Amino acid sequence: MKELRLMKGNEAVAEAAIRAGCDGYFGYPITPQSEVMEYLMYQEPHKTTGMVVLQAESEVAAINMVYGGASCGKRVMTSSSSPGISLKQEGISYIAGAELPCLIVNVVRGGPGLGTIQPAQSDYFQSTKGGGHGDYRLLVLAPASVQEMADFAGLGFELAFKYRNPVLILSDGVIGQMMEKVELQPHQPRFTKEEIKANTPWATYGKTDDRGRNIITSLDLDSHKQEKHVTHLAEKYQAMEENEVRYEEFQTEDAEYLIVAYGSSARISQKAVDIARAKGIKVGLLRPITLFPFPKKPLAKLATQVKGILSVEMSLGQMVEDVKLAVECKIKVEHFGRYGGIIPTPDEVVAALEQKIIGG
């Protein structure tokens, strides 16, 4: 039986993680996401599911704990907000390189630097193109509601294990801090030892006689092997592009213009669509749910239908590059954003649409 609750996004992802059979959470406090760990500490899942919750000494330690836990075939996760996620870049690159499954939550605030603790979406590049070094990609899920904060915990673990790849939930201060109603999934047990052996035969749970030793590493001093490894990673990312694209469309059937927006911005843009339609402007919304893989094909298709696209982001304009690449610059694509912690209003979005796309 599904359960209905009023929860913060930060709480929802925590509760959903417990229910998804998460084995371990490792984190460090930072606004606006500290409720993730606080909720877990309050729930004491070690007494129920056996899940370990540990406050690390830093984000660097936390992400490396995730590396250690993931190496054992466990479902492990961490969460932070922008500056903390930047500190984790080396660890994330290692995790991607060693092909470890894990869940990372970024409840984005405005940057750069210490910036502001208010919501923003200015970590898009970092999340989708690789903020760490080397050729790697995260699978990036962008929730637009508290419900999705909950849903993406389970989905995130599933995809992480399917691809042996870190999955990032790219949220923001709005989604993390707001309460909405959530339908919670029933509890799913943690992996048993047998399941770990079966599902993650590469994991380091102790070398038994029936197999060679398992090694978790991202190192290859031999460049030819390393190149092979990177090629293998590239194939994996290709497979994600083919199989894992997720998005939502609103009122696109007859649209002459399109807004592309994710997360909080998508919610606001949805309202903007209503307002614009009330004014007689035929506009639709495409909401990428996965930011990597980016919904290139549906966008390319819509590009043959609409006259122009407004990319709405709480940033100086990052996703807009992916939108342009997706539509191969065939139609006009403009960016509209507020930033530094400011959330645009639906009216501003409509005005930007009118000015930059329809009028422009």
Partner 1 sequence: MSEITKEQIRQPENLVYTKTKLLTDKALSYCPGCGHGTAHRIVMEVIEELNAQSETIGIAPVGCSVLAYEFMNIDMQQAAHGRAPALATAVKRLMPEKLVFTYQGDGDLAAIGTAETIHACNRGENITIIFINNGIYGMTGGQMAPTTLPNMKASTCPYGRDVVTMGNPLKMTELVAQLPGVRYVTRQSVHTPGNVRKTKKAIRKAFDMQKENKGLTFVEIVSNCNSGWKMTPIQSNKWMEENMFPFYPLGDIKVDGQLVK
Partner 2 sequence: MTEEIIIAGFGGQGVLSMGKILAYSGIMQNQEVSWMPSYGPEMRGGTANVTVVLSDERISSPVINSYDTAIILNQQSMDKFVDTVKPGGLLIYDPNGITHHPERKDINIYTIEASEEAGKQGLMKTFNMIVLGGFLKLKPLIQPEFIHKGLEKSLPARHHKLIPENEKAIEVGKELIKAVQLV
Residues 248-267 that bind partner 2 (CB under 8 A): 264, 267
Return the half-sphere exposure (C-beta side, CA atoms, 13 A cut-off) of residue 262. 31
For strands 332-336 and 308-312, give the pairing: parallel
Binding-site partner at residue 123 among partner 2, ligand TPP, a copy of itself, none, CB < 5 to 8 Å by type = a copy of itself
d(CA 67, CA 97): 11
Q: Is 38 in the site for partner 1 (CB under 8 A)?
A: yes
Question: Is the Cβ–Cβ distance between 111 and 64 less than 8 Å?
Answer: no
Under the binding rule (CB under 8 A), the answer on residue 348 touching partner 1 is: no
Q: How far is the CB of 249 from partner 1 (least distance, A)?
A: 39
The answer for residues whose C-beta is within 8 angstroms of residue 278's C-beta and 6 or more apart is: none
Task: State the nearest-atom distance from the C-beta of 276 to partner 2, in Å.
Answer: 13
**335/318 Cα distance (integer angstroms):** 9
What is the rounded CA–CA span in Å between residue 218 and residue 221?
10
Contact status: 68 vs partner 1 (CB under 8 A): yes
Handedness of CA 294, 32, 112, 79 (dihedral sign): negative
- Tell me the closest approach of the beta carbon of residue 222 to partner 1, in angstroms: 12
Instruction: Collect all residues with Cβ–Cβ distance below 8 Å to 302 and sequence separation of at least 6.
Output: 252, 255, 258, 284, 286, 309, 327
Verify binding: residue 275, partner 1, rule CB under 8 A. Answer: no
State the nearest-atom distance from the C-beta of 279 to a copy of itself, in Å.
27
Residue 233 interacts with a copy of itself (CB under 8 A)?
A: yes
| 194 CB-near residues (< 8 Å, 6+ apart) | none
Q: Check residue 223 for interaction with partner 1 (CB under 8 A).
A: no
User: What number of other Cβ atoms are within 10 A of residue 154's Cβ?
Assistant: 19
115 binds, among partner 2, a copy of itself, ligand TPP, none (CB under 5 to 8 A by kind): a copy of itself
**β partners of residue 107:** 171
Query: First CA to last CA across the chain, in angstroms?
Result: 52
| DSSP structural state of residue 109 | B
The answer to whether the Cα torsion of 293, 298, 299, 301 is positive or negative is positive
Nearest to 172 by CA among 350, 13, 335: 13
Q: Which of these segments, 81-89, 204-212, 240-248, 339-347, binds partner 2 (CB under 8 A)?
A: 339-347
**If binding is defined by CB under 8 A, does position 325 make contact with a copy of itself?**
yes
31 scored as a contact of partner 2 (CB under 8 A):
yes
Nearer to ligand TPP, 93 or 265 (CB): 93
Site string for a copy of itself, 122-141 (x = CB under 8 A): xx-xx--xxxxxxxx-----
Site membership for partner 2, residue 41 (CB under 8 A): no
For partner 1, the closer of residues 90 and 180 by Cβ is 90
CB of 102 to ligand TPP, least distance (A): 19
**Minimum Å distance from CB 117 to ligand TPP?**
9
Task: Give CA–CA dist 345/268, Å, rounded.
Answer: 7
By a kind-dependent CB cut-off of 5 to 8 A, residue 267 interacts, out of partner 1, partner 2, a copy of itself, none, with: partner 2
Residue of 29, 115, 341, 346 interacting with partner 1 (CB under 8 A): 29
Shortest distance in whole angstroms from residue 120 CB to ligand TPP: 15
Q: How far is the CB of 164 from a copy of itself (least distance, A)?
A: 13
Interface with partner 2 by CB under 8 A: which residues? Answer: 4-6, 31-32, 117, 119, 173-174, 177-181, 221, 264, 267-268, 270-271, 274, 343, 345-346
